[in-house]
Amino acid sequence: MAEVNLFDRAKDIIPGGVSSPVRAFGSVGGDPVFIASAHGPYVVDVDGNEYVDLVCSWGPALLGHAHPEVVAAVQQAAARGLSFGAATVTEVELAEAVRARVPLAEQVRFVSTGTEATMTAIRLARGATGRDVVVKFAGCYHGHSDALLAAAGSGLATQGLPGSAGVPASATADTVVVEYNNVAAIREVFAEMGDRIAAVITEASPANMGIVTPAADFNTTLRELTREHGALFILDEVLTGFRVGPAGWWGLEGGYEPDLFTFGKVIGGGMPLAAIGGRREIMQHLAPVGAVYQAGTLSGNPLATIAGLETLRLADNEVYATVDRRSAELQRAVGEALTAASVPHTIQTAGNLFSVFFRDEPVRNYEDAKAQDTAAFGRFFHAMLEAGVALPPSAFEAWFLSSAHDDAAMNRIVDALPAAARAAAQR
């Protein structure tokens, strides 16, 4: 019997063949790689090909894949039982570890995905303020809950969709979308409807339209405006939290105090785990203490919380210094290769996260991000993949490094860059 192509087999049984849209390679073309295993800075496909990984599971693998101490802790926890649906000591310890890094997260509630974390933060803000309107920024992605699927980045930016089918107008009727980094526009919104706004939610430093760093006064202004008008300020650190530094983007930038944080990705060390953290007085509105309902069969799962706890324990200053250094090395090498091949590009950073826009002007917002040459990125992506380097399969994503990216892995990436840059230059 003829062997069936794996992607065809997957597409027959799973819509698009994938469990999350960007994995289907829609914006770069070609068939996705099916991963069988991963170790350190590498992923290995089902045919045994090894790639240097610059996706790092879209963020969680800060220490590299399958870190032996994290794996051992999870294995030991697994032997004690996979899920109890009851309170555990590990979740208390992880919540304490989060607060030790981000003291403003006075209380912490665990959920399983970043989507749940932001959805809960919005409900909490609405419940605590008694108001309905939520302000978000174009190109910021906060997961796929209905109210936040308006002008979102990530998979939606990739597909160029304005929102999503299946989201009723009523679900986004109280969501106001404002251009990112536009202080005048956000001031106008508050002047017009400040007394109806429950919260402003923003990515701490946006990474889902590519990296768009907040202007120097942007997050501080959001804090001041929300406080002035009795609204809450929600800092979404699902992607940046515990990745760009020990206390996330907030820890790097400083100078303002959000009411609520959302965390995900690194906090679960690769397992399904996310969290909401914030001021005690606000967190106390959550059930069972308060009237804002939130729950989850697998919330605070013992395997996920131990993976997160072990990851945070291992993520010391040296880990962050290593990732910072590797990121700077790679940015330099990518810039040199693209310049040598005369490919227009701009590299933007948020701590150790960076992304490469295939246009030569700065990107300040979603409109700027969409104005890049995505076809050039597609050619670059496939040349890198061919040479054994797995980039995020979209021009609208950050590149992720880990503390496991050693000289050997870095050299493989650097060696692949000149040919990929020349491929990007070809029309």
Which sequence positions are flagged as catalytic? 141, 236, 265
Among 25, 141, 256, 358, binds ligand PLP (CB under 6 A): 141
Dist CA 221 CA 349 (whole Å)? 21
Q: Contact, 372 vs 359, CB < 8 A?
A: yes
Quick one: tokens of 77?
Answer: 């926890």
Q: Which stretch binds ligand PLP (CB under 6 A): 141-149, 178-186, 296-304, 348-356?
A: 141-149
Q: Rounded to the nearest whole angstrom, what is the least distance from the CB of residue 79 to ligand PLP in the complex?
A: 27
Total of residues contacting ligand PLP (CB under 6 A)? 16
Residues of this chain, 166-195, that bind ligand PLP according to CB under 6 A: none
Dist CA 300 CA 313 (whole Å)? 18
Q: Rounded to the nearest whole angstrom, what is the least distance from the CB of residue 140 to ligand PLP in the complex?
A: 7
Q: Rounded to the nearest whole angstrom, what is the least distance from the CB of residue 314 to ligand PLP in the complex?
A: 21
Chain length of the chain: 427
φ and ψ of 39, to 5 deg: -150, 135
200 binds ligand PLP (CB under 6 A): no
203 binds ligand PLP (CB under 6 A): yes
Q: Rounded to the nearest whole angstrom, what is the least distance from the CB of residue 114 to ligand PLP in the complex?
A: 2
The contacts found for 221-224 with CB under 8 angstroms, 24 or more apart, are: 221/183, 221/186, 221/187, 222/186, 222/256, 223/256, 223/257, 223/258
238 binds ligand PLP (CB under 6 A): yes
Dist CA 340 CA 18 (whole Å)? 36
| Listed residue (270, 266, 261, 273) closest to 305, CA to CA | 273
Q: Rounded to the nearest whole angstrom, what is the least distance from the CB of residue 203 to ligand PLP in the complex?
A: 5
Report the residue number, 274 or 391, with the smaller CB distance to ligand PLP. 274
Q: Which residues contact 40 (CB under 8 A, 6 or more apart)?
A: 64, 65, 66, 402, 404, 406, 409
142 binds ligand PLP (CB under 6 A): yes
Q: What angle do CA 137, 226, 243 make, to 5 degrees?
A: 55
Q: Contact, 362 vs 24, CB < 8 A?
A: no
Cα 278 to the center of its chain, rounded Å: 19
Among 264, 269, 278, 378, binds ligand PLP (CB under 6 A): 264
Among 208, 305, 322, 374, binds ligand PLP (CB under 6 A): 208
Dist CA 356 CA 421 (whole Å)? 12
Interface pattern 45-64 for ligand PLP (x via CB under 6 A):
-------------x------
236 binds ligand PLP (CB under 6 A): yes
Report the residue number, 238 or 384, with the smaller CB distance to ligand PLP. 238
Q: Rounded to the nearest whole angstrom, what is the least distance from the CB of residue 236 to ligand PLP in the complex?
A: 5
Q: What is the CA radius of gyration of the chain?
A: 21
Report the residue number, 239 or 391, with the smaller CB distance to ligand PLP. 239
397 binds ligand PLP (CB under 6 A): no
Q: Rounded to the nearest whole angstrom, what is the least distance from the CB of residue 336 to ligand PLP in the complex?
A: 29
Q: Contact, 352 vs 403, CB < 8 A?
A: no
**Exposure of 224 by Cβ count < 10 A (0-12 exposed, 13-18 middle, 19+ buried)?**
middle
355 binds ligand PLP (CB under 6 A): no
Residues of this chain, 116-135, that bind ligand PLP according to CB under 6 A: 118
Q: Which stretch binds ligand PLP (CB under 6 A): 75-83, 221-229, 231-239, 378-386?
A: 231-239
Q: Rounded to the nearest whole angstrom, what is the least distance from the CB of residue 235 to ligand PLP in the complex?
A: 10
Q: How many CA atoms lie within 13 A of 145 on its CB side?
A: 15
- Closest residue to ligand PLP in the complex (CB): 114
- The three-state secondary structure class of 198 is strand
Residues of this chain, 100-119, that bind ligand PLP according to CB under 6 A: 113-115, 118
Report the residue number, 65 or 382, with the smaller CB distance to ligand PLP. 65
Dist CA 296 CA 293 (whole Å)? 11
Report the residue number, 70 or 350, with the smaller CB distance to ligand PLP. 350
Dist CA 290 CA 286 (whole Å)? 5
In the complex, the residues that contact ligand PLP under the rule CB under 6 A are: 58, 113-115, 118, 141-143, 154, 203, 208, 236, 238-239, 264, 274
